[in-house]
Structure 1
Amino acid sequence: MSYPFEHGDETLWDAGYRSGRLYHALAEGAAGVLDVPSGLTHTPQGSCAVDREVFRVFTGRLYDLYASTRNEMLRELGHSVLVTSLVLLDRVGGQVAVSPRDAAALDEAKAAYARSMAR
């Protein structure tokens, strides 16, 4: 059983049911902390629709929090949600500005995540 993340007719990530639902729940929690919508919507078909523009804003705000804090726990707690979101955002054709100091590490993490995020 899977939990696909979709934009229109395109599957961005054909996540396993539990990993997809967990990411969705974590993203919704982060969106609540950031006081913005996530751009992710559970569908009656058992998938998750991604609204590109709303999701781009969410991911940008998530990165801004990640980049602006010195709190190591906050950075680590948000890291996997951020990297997963960046991979999905790439796949939907969106992007957020990332500081040069973070770019190499996030690009490396995105590549690793993307390899395990089947379409």
Structure 2
Amino acid sequence: MSYPFEHGDETLWDAGYSSGRLYHALAQGAAGSLDVPSGLTHTPRGSCAVDREVFQAFTGRLYDLYASTRNEMLRELGHSVLVTSLVLLDRAGGRIAVSPRDTANLDEAKARLARTMAV
């Protein structure tokens, strides 16, 4: 059983049920903590619809928190949600601005994770 993340008619990630639901829950929690909507909506079909513009704003805020804190625990807690979000955002055709000091590390983490995220 899967939990696909879809933008319009395009599947961005055909996640396994458990991993997809966990990421969705973590993203919703992060969005609540940031006081912004995530742009992710559970559908009656058992998938997750991605509103690219709202999701891009959420991912940008998540990155801003990641980039601005010196709290190592906060950075680590947000890292997996951020990297997964960046992969999904790339696949949806969206982008956020990333500081040059973070670009190489995040690009490497995205590439590594994207290989495991079936489309």
Scaled by the length of structure 2, what TM-score is found?
1.00
- Is 1:107 the counterpart of 2:107 in the alignment? yes
Gaps of 5+ in 2: none
Query: Counterpart in 2 of 1:41?
Result: 41
Q: What is the letter of the counterpart of residue 110 of structure 1?
A: K
Distance in 1, matches of 2:35 and 2:107, equals 26
Return the offset for 1:114.
Answer: 0.3
Query: Counterpart in 2 of 1:53?
Result: 53
Query: Counterpart in 1 of 2:97?
Result: 97
Residue correspondences, number:
119
Distance in 2, matches of 1:9 and 1:117, equals 18
Return the offset for 1:19.
Answer: 0.1
Return the offset for 1:33.
Answer: 0.4
Return the offset for 1:97.
Answer: 0.1
The runs of at least 4 aligned residues of structure 1 exceeding 2 Å deviation read none
Return the offset for 1:50.
Answer: 0.1
Distance in 1, matches of 2:32 and 2:88, equals 19
The equivalences for 1:3-82 within 5 A come to 3-82=3-82
Gaps of 5+ in 1: none
Distance in 2, matches of 1:74 and 1:35, equals 16
1:18-69 CA deviation, whole Å, 9 max, x = no partner?
A: 0000000000000000000000000000000000000000000000000000
Task: Give the SS at the match of 1:93.
Answer: coil
